[in-house]
Amino acid sequence: MSVIEIKEGERVLARHIPARSAWQDGLNFFSPAEDFQQVGTWGYEKGKALAAHRHNLAKREVPWTQEVLYIRTGQLRADIYDSSDCKVAELIAEPGDILVLLDGGHGYEILEDGTQVLEIKNGPYGGADVDRRRL
């Protein structure tokens, strides 16, 4: 199974990267250079050395918050909404899957007890009143 993109016209609202596609050998990025969230995975054998590096100060303008979810255990359903707040898709995410939520809206329902999710989003966080609007 390959990467699933949910779109509104040409704009990508969300990417579902199933575990089978996410966790391959080598370095694999699933984001084009213009995405605010750059999402990739590593798959290397013992002894692989990655050159030490430091990131340069580079001013970026990021107009809204985006999220990346890594499903560690359990299962959830992600509801994806377009720019008009209309639900356009449902994604079922399982252990090892990655969800990249780029635009539009989203909501979640936990489908299994003990579900654990790592959430990563760009900051700084301005608080619930500044950073989001309930649909």
Q: Which residues contact 74 (CB under 8 A, 6 or more apart)?
A: 95, 110, 111, 112, 113, 114, 115, 116, 117
What per-residue confidence (pLDDT) applies to 20? 92
Domain map (residue ranges) of the chain = 4-19+65-131
What per-residue confidence (pLDDT) applies to 90? 97
Q: How much is the pTM?
A: 0.91
What per-residue confidence (pLDDT) applies to 71? 98
pLDDT, averaged in runs of 10, over the chain (135 residues): 92 95 93 90 96 93 91 98 97 97 96 97 82 85
What per-residue confidence (pLDDT) applies to 26? 93
Q: State the DSSP H helix or E strand holding residue 118, giving kind and residue range, or none if neither.
A: strand 116-121
What per-residue confidence (pLDDT) applies to 62? 84
| Residue range 4-19+65-131, CATH number | 2.60.120
